[in-house]
Chain A
Amino acid sequence: MTPIRVIEDGASADFEFEAFAESLESLFIECGKAVFIAISELRLIESKIPVEFNLNADSLEDLLFGFLSELIYLKDTKKMLFSKFIVEISGNYSLYCKAIGEPIDRDKHQPKIDVKAATYHKLKIEINDSGYYRVRVILDL
């Protein structure tokens, strides 16, 4: 199963994808990668500088929205792109993340578009019969 499937849906101006993973942590990591796939290509972004953060939320969906929003905020304020993520999820929807990337270099990363925000549109984390986690996410471009 491909971990990320980009959805080309009709006339959407946004970036819609579906992520699959065996664990919640891996699901979040795939979603994090998708933010930077929308902007550039992961193979062009070297994982050199780590940035760490912690989050708490009231539900898994809120935690994922918060996680993606934090990565978008770090992209704008640290002027960095990320390609590698270490994620730990514990207790009542608490998350630790170490995102590793490098400063934006237009020649190297050839960014095609910016990501403005994560959205809650149809955001629902599901687990299928084989125990795989699945989520569909829309990023506002």
Chain B
Amino acid sequence: MEKKRIDEFTWEIPPSAKAGMKVPARLIASEDILKNLDEGVIEQITNVACLPGIRKYAVCIPDGHRGYGFPIGGVAAFGLNDGVISPGGIGFDINCGVRLIRTNLTEDELKPKLKELIDTLFRLVPSGVGSTGFVKLTDKEFDNLMIEGVSWCYRNGYAWESDIDFTEQRGQIPGAKPQAVSAKARERGFDQIGTLGSGNHYLEIQKTSFDDECDKKTAEMMGIERENQITVMVHCGSRGFGHQIGTDYLQSFGQAMKRYGIHTNDRELACAPFDSPEGQAYYGAMACAANAAFANRQVITHRIREAFSRVFHKKPEDLEMRLIYDVAHNIAKIESHDTGKGYEKVIVHRKGATRAFGPGSPDLPEMYRAIGQPVLVGGSMQTGSYLLVGTKKSGEITFGSTLHGAGRTMSRAAAMKRIQGAALRSQMESQGILVRTASLKGLAEEAGFAYKNVEQVVNAVHKLGISLKVARFIPLANIKG
């Protein structure tokens, strides 16, 4: 398809490229990334550009890769009155996201205790197929958790008050409607709070590092004061609860599309007008799953603090285990953006993309308002992760969004053929990374070589300016779900 270069990192596919496109599609990529981009991504992002009520353009972020419906790394904004909401623009794992917890420990203080710590964490944070959490919920309490998110955790002793401030949207998407959640979704979700899941979900103990482009002053303001400071990163989502809500509405939106006369190029783009009973029901159920995901990562944080406290014989407060931030990277949210005809409220879909609001945003906690929003980017379990900061430029060109991770370059099956789980574990241990996993076979599928170079994609967004490098994290121990 024809692509017009807008600037060094922006390429545009005009609406004339495909029948039904209502706006252009934009690819944010370096020349190298663009060269290797799967044609499927272009097919998918141009399909998104055909959806009713879409504003300005459909965007694909540099870590974009082929998904179903939207590409992973797809961002699109729709009008609240004339636009749609699409489960395929959010993904089955609603509010899959990442959080980062700081400590005041150094690598030297951690090293002698690392094995004991990772074993304790492996016991306290269940992972893998069929695992259940320690939080026991009645139906009523599950309703409250879906509505309140992190605030529910605070009321029940699983959160510090400051955790609410340092979670995107204060850990509570408004408009949650438990009555829009099916009995099946409840049944799948009620015993999974506090569990990691499987696949690419992980809990990682890391040390900080800075390259020349990292902004140490911003790092310090966020709580990263020095090299080799110990942090913990968690990547997981809403578990079976969100997966079932996605499944339920993908099924029922088939009928809704017929009722509203909507046609899409891909059934995975099933959608309903946002301002319709069906669209509002999905939004209410999605908010329940998003809040449950915030609560899931919060309960895991509670267990992480407990594990550090047991191993270091100190209170988590004395270890200064403050949450730096928690971001959602599979979600739809009502936000105000410049859509080309001034600012308006839109429903922004981010599928495999992270909100990256710049300085001055009233949505940020006071501590970060002058510097911008912390953005957490998970790499592979062998190569490390990044802390970035959001910018005003992201608000101008990507609806306040940036990348979410490295993205795969190799299928799971191909990765498993190349290395066995036990060999990978030994290789990682010789690199100084301890591994605990519910499945050695699953471990092989997550080998570092199966992912893009996280540095390359982070450098692309840094140079473009939609988020800027603050610090890098090197893995020391990883629990793979």
Residues of A near any B CB (own CB < 8 A): 6, 8-13, 15, 39, 58, 61-62, 65-66, 69, 72-73, 76-77, 79, 104, 106, 110-114, 116-121, 123, 138, 140-141
Contacts and interface: CB of A to CB of B under 8 A. Distances in A.
A10 to B, nearest CB: 6
Contacts of A69: 247, 251
B160 interface: no
Contacts of B200: 13
B441 A110 contact: yes
B247 A111 contact: no
Given A111-B130, A141-B198, 8 more contacts: A8-B414, A13-B72, A13-B200, A61-B267, A72-B247, A73-B184, A116-B92, A120-B267
Nearest to B248: A69
A66 B251 CA distance: 8
Contacts of A140: 68, 92-93, 243
Contact of B66 (A12, A73, A106, A123): A12
Nearest to B270: A120
Given A11-B407, A73-B188, A112-B445, A117 B129 contact: no
B410 interface: yes
Top 5 A-B residue pairs of the complex, sorted by shortest distance between their CB atoms: A121-B68, A112-B441, A111-B129, A120-B267, A104-B130
Contacts of A8: 411, 413-414
A121 B408 CA distance: 19
Contacts of A77: 184, 187-188
A6 B412 CA distance: 11
B389 to A, nearest CB: 27
Given A9-B411, A112-B441, A65 B129 contact: no
Interface string B61-86: 00001101100100000000000000
A122 B199 CA distance: 23
Interface string B32-54: 00000010000000000000000
Contacts, number: 114
Nearest to A114: B198
B65 A11 contact: yes
B442 A112 contact: yes
A113 B411 CA distance: 14
Nearest to B416: A112
A65 B252 CA distance: 12
Contacts of B68: 119-121, 138, 140
Interface string B397-419: 00000000001111111100000
17 contacts: A9-B411, A13-B412, A61-B267, A69-B251, A73-B188, A77-B188, A111-B128, A111-B438, A111-B442, A112-B439, A113-B441, A114-B197, A114-B199, A117-B246, A121-B266, A140-B68, A140-B243
A116 B247 CA distance: 9
Nearest to A9: B411
A11 B129 contact: no
Given A73-B184, A112-B439, A140-B92, A13 B408 contact: yes
A13 B255 CA distance: 29
B244 interface: yes
A141 B243 CA distance: 10
A88 B200 CA distance: 36
Contacts of B266: 120-121
A66 B66 CA distance: 24
Given A112-B439, A112-B442, A114-B198, A11 B243 contact: no
Nearest to A40: B129
A11 B66 contact: yes
B254 interface: yes
Interface string B3-23: 000000000000000000000
Interface in B181-216: 184, 187-188, 197-200
A113 B129 contact: yes
B338 interface: no
Given A106-B438, A118-B247, A141-B199, A39 B38 contact: no
Nearest to A103: B130
B257 to A, nearest CB: 12
B227 interface: no
Contacts of B445: 112-113
A104 B197 CA distance: 15
B268 interface: yes
Contacts of B93: 116, 140
Interface string B122-150: 00000011100000000000000000000
Interface centre among A10, A13, A15, A66 (most CB of B within 10 A): A13
A10 B439 contact: no
A62 B51 CA distance: 22
Contacts of B66: 10-12
Contacts of A10: 38, 66, 411
A6 B197 CA distance: 23
A71 to B, nearest CB: 12
Contacts of B438: 106, 111
Contacts of B412: 12-13, 15, 113, 141
A116 B69 CA distance: 16
A8 B251 CA distance: 27
Contact of B411 (A12, A104, A121, A123): A12
A121 B247 contact: no
A93 B347 CA distance: 36
Contact of B92 (A73, A104, A106, A117): A117
Contacts of B69: 121
A119 B266 CA distance: 11
Nearest to A69: B247
Contacts of B244: 73
